[in-house]
Chain A
Amino acid sequence: MEEQNLQAIIEEIWPRLKKKHLYPEIPMPQIGKITESTEGESGKDEGVGLEMKQKQMTINPDFLDLMKNKMPERKVMEALLDHGITHYTFCPWDFHTHLMLYAEAKKVMGDKESAKQVANYFIDVIADTHCVKKRSTEIPELHRNLKKGKVEEVIASLYQKIWGIHLGIESSKLSGKSHEEVVRRLARIPYMDRSRWQESIKKFARSIKPLLVAEQKEQEGGGGKGESNPQGEHDLTHYSSEEIDHGLRDYAKKTMGLSEFRDVVEDFSDELKEAGYGMEGGMGRGRGAPIDADVLFYMKLSENYSIPLRKVSMDEKGVLHPHSHTPWEVGSPFQDIDIWTSFGKIMPGITQTWKKREGKGRGKMEGTPDCLIVIDSSGSMINPRKNLSYAVLGAACATNAYLRNDSKVAVYNFSDAPMGGKDILNYTDKKEEIYRTLCKYFGGGTALDLEDLIPLIKGRKNLDLFIITDMKITNLEALIGFFGQIQNRITAVHIGENPYAARFEKAVEKRRNINIFTVKRKEDIPHIVLGTIREYFNPTHKG
């Protein structure tokens, strides 16, 4: 009953709040109990007023009850919702910003938990200050009435200073000169300037670090966990899978740094797994398997680059059509049953089902063939798990191009193949498996075993080849000879310029089905055009 009344208040104030915040795309908030998710602590958390999960805000009626004597429920709800909405409309705005702030905080704090705490405080300060500056809000009143620990007192004192609103914190109450100094430092930070958040959070962390360290020591001594944030915690549950996806992609592109990306993903790996993110091919993998941060880095980074793929007329149209009858058996699917030849009966021995085949003959529809990616991971190539490898990035972009067109990709990762330095993945559309094979690094000599390629090419019509290497291959001549014998479309990408690459280019310049591209920097990757046939002659398009 009580919850219904509260929900009615939300429905009354929500249109006004939406208008105030310029109509954000957020659903109507709800009333509901908020359960503490920490292990070992059961029961509901009265101290948390607001929870945000994938844009859905939930207000805790127990918290409203706690605040009843100090502030009317309506005002508490308004203040909490103002705070929650501002997280979506201003800070952190998206997952990428959240990651960036966390990464900067970690540079100062050094450990994951403190960095998360700092990022949370920073985000809250910005959100509340934005609300106070830009909108009329009850947030100052809420802060005046909230229960405060030592750090919260300092934050409240900061708010007093930067908002010019008295929140009941007397300077004599602040424990010592050091806290006044902290407030003075914190007050100088330009919270409203988004372009300086990266620098600002570091300053924020530097200033607040001694307080958090002291609080941590106290908590460890007291054997308890700290108080929850009444305005809600900031974790990955705020974001949907698409937002996390986007955020990781933007973060990978911005940092271009494998180790930095890996650090952040590993720190958030539990939360990412809880969000069900990053795990492909669920059977047998589940949440027990760790997220491979390096594979994820190349996956996200490659999504920023799109390589055009020229389609080819396929011999098989790819359209299934009914070809012949076959007796139906119990357990077989029903959808292909031919009711006419089955005399309308569903019985073993009588019922006939259609057997379908792909249409033959040259169709007018263009299609995308499968692709065999040959990638060099010898000692002269960069280790993709230590530094950004353009070879792996290029191969990843090619993979995406083919998979996007519903084709399959096989991978031949080689170093000194005759000595066993190779990894072969058969044709598949499982992105994660392909990426894992691409990211493997042997670091040995450089020799292809052409016998390995033959089974992957044999029997496949219209197969594309994508080879990415620095061309410093010991049996380069054999490879050139091999390419001379096949008619498949070959895209050869060489990393950097060297005499071997020049030799290769010279040897294959007359081959119409081979196109060569050079990659010196990441900006060269989008210039790769998969499967181009040289302009002056294309027998497949003769008509």
Chain B
Amino acid sequence: MDIPLDQIVQSTEVVMDKIRWGYEKLLEEEAKELVWMVQYNTIIKAYEVAERYIKEIDYSAEDIEDFCFALENTHKIPYLIPGPAGVYISALCNYAEEEEIVLKLSELKTEINLIGFRLPKGKRLLVEGDTGDFTGIGIEGGELVVEGNAKNWTGAGMRSGKILVKKNIGLHTGEWMMGGEIYVGGRVRGLGNIVEGKVFERDKLVYPGKARYPNLYY
């Protein structure tokens, strides 16, 4: 007897195959010989390619989380390159129908870089677990919550919006930040060259505030 579970699982597999295909095309076009350097133009270009493929897929927020875990499974996806993967996941989040997306990534062994790139206004992305470098860079009004640690270059180039990191954050925080707010529940290892915006460490305003030099090690 056929039950709805069969249909649900089958359609989930179809969507996952399409998402995987889009990622592989992104790698083909942007990560020649599996090498990818994090630079302003490479990120922009990778994002544009990702957008192109994602727009054709009808997926849900849960598919994004499944894709994150599928990245670690080399049988399903042969290459996990953290940069393009993060850009792709960010594009998936930005183009998802849901306004609020929850990614439960605590069991993920790899920390994904570039999560939350260009998160638009009206979108809320909650990540359970730790994130890698360049978290929330270029946020455009959205709200990014990381229930764990974030690494370096968090919030770099963000224009508006909010980033909340419940635990600790790395170096170059808010580098070239043009606006918005970063809240850190733990410690900030170092600030970047902030143009405008605010950074809070344990509810205390650290920028603008008492004089602090970028990347003060303490």
Contacts and interface: CB of A to CB of B under 8 A. Distances in A.
Given A184-B62, A185-B62, A206 B3 contact: no
Contacts of B66: 188, 203
Contacts of A149: none
Interface in A177-209: 181, 184-185, 187-193, 199, 202-203, 206-207
A438 to B, nearest CB: 34
A210 to B, nearest CB: 10
A107 B107 contact: yes
B9 interface: yes
Contact of B4 (A161, A189, A199): A161
Contacts of A181: 102
Residue of B8, B12, B69 with most chain A CB atoms under a 10 A cut-off: B8
9 contacts: A132-B1, A132-B3, A133-B1, A133-B2, A133-B3, A134-B1, A162-B3, A164-B3, A188-B8
A437 interface: no
Nearest to A165: B3
B167 interface: no
A163 interface: yes
B35 interface: no
B211 interface: no
A129 B8 contact: no
Given A132-B3, A164-B3, A188 B9 contact: yes
Interface in B1-30: 1-6, 8-9, 12
B166 to A, nearest CB: 16
B104 interface: yes
A187 B5 contact: yes
Contacts of A134: 1
Contacts of B4: 161-164
A192 B102 CA distance: 26
A108 interface: yes
Interface of A: 107-108, 129, 132-134, 161-164, 181, 184-185, 187-193, 199, 202-203, 206-207
A163 B4 CA distance: 6
A202 B107 contact: yes
A132 B6 CA distance: 12
A108 B107 contact: yes
Nearest to A202: B107
A187 B3 CA distance: 12
Nearest to A192: B5
B92 to A, nearest CB: 16
Given A161-B4, A163-B4, A188 B62 contact: yes
Nearest to A163: B3
Given A162-B4, A185-B62, A206 B9 contact: no
Contacts of A187: 5, 8
Contacts of B62: 184-185, 188
B88 to A, nearest CB: 20
Contacts of A162: 3-5, 8
B3 A190 contact: no
Contacts of A107: 107
Scoring B4, B12, B73, B102 by chain A CB atoms within 10 A of each residue's CB, the highest score goes to: B4
Given A199-B69, A203-B69, 17 more contacts: A129-B3, A129-B5, A132-B1, A132-B3, A133-B1, A133-B5, A134-B1, A162-B3, A162-B4, A162-B5, A164-B3, A164-B4, A185-B62, A188-B66, A189-B9, A192-B6, A206-B104
A134 B2 CA distance: 9
